[in-house]
Structure 1
């Protein structure tokens, strides 16, 4: 039986973007930026709230990343570096070190490195990793 680990992403929704924070076992890992909520419209909206299993995915553009394969009505959703949701995201989630506005943050590469370090270490121990997305701080 595989150990199940759950990361919790708590979101706040804005007109220009969705900001969030990822926690693991009650500890803050990083902040996140996403597109605003637009009824799950592909390429224009953040993904719906819910519980998703994370998987390793290889992409030509982004290399190996953490993928979120089972999103209803969506494809190729992943967690990758970006500092501006409206300019750089098409529905994916970008970790950031600090939030500087709605859907805008800083040092995304650094935050992604920290998040990948955690998720990959849980995978390496043979665990399954889930992302629980919900509203609230």
Structure 2
């Protein structure tokens, strides 16, 4: 099974929507793209395998590839490098809402797939950068 994460990049954070087929599962908050913030940045675009993980200190998380995680992130906390935080929507103050609920629903949805023995992958695609910053431009080699 493959999920699709469609992102938009901004200087403060990367925002995306996670889909299973045409159905929206949740929204995702990440750190900015590396050209905006080289010390705290989101994962690269690509395809990653997802697996559940439990630790005593953090509880349940979803491992994304080898180095990233999806986990509950408090609304007032900014995601760190390779950290993805699900949420439902933004409130009037611009803070994400229902972060814990969004993570629990995502974990339940994916848990059913893992219980059936399915391999779950997530494809990450970007919607482009709203304005041009030289380090963010991709060279054209044609």
Higher relative contact order (CA 8 A, sep 6+): 1
Larger C-alpha radius of gyration, 1 or 2? 2
Residues 92-135 of structure 1: CA deviation (Å, up to 9, x unaligned): 1110010359x951111010011111111000111010011001
In the alignment, structure 2 segments of 5+ residues that lack a partner are 129-142
112-121 vs 52-61, which deviates more? 52-61
Displacement, 1:12?
0.3
Structure 2 length as normaliser, TM-score? 0.78
Displacement, 1:43?
6.3
Q: Is the 8 A contact 2:7 2:126 kept in 1?
A: yes
Structure 1 length as normaliser, TM-score? 0.80
Indicate the residue corresponding to 1:128 in structure 2.
Answer: 119
In the alignment, structure 1 segments of 5+ residues that lack a partner are none
Instruction: Tell me how far apart the structure 1 counterparts of residues 77 and 6 of structure 2 sit (CA, whole Å).
Output: 17
Instruction: Tell me how far apart the structure 2 counterparts of residues 79 and 20 of structure 1 sit (CA, whole Å).
Output: 13
Quick one: which of 79, 91, 99 aligns to 2:82?
A: 91
CA RMSD of aligned residues (A): 2.5
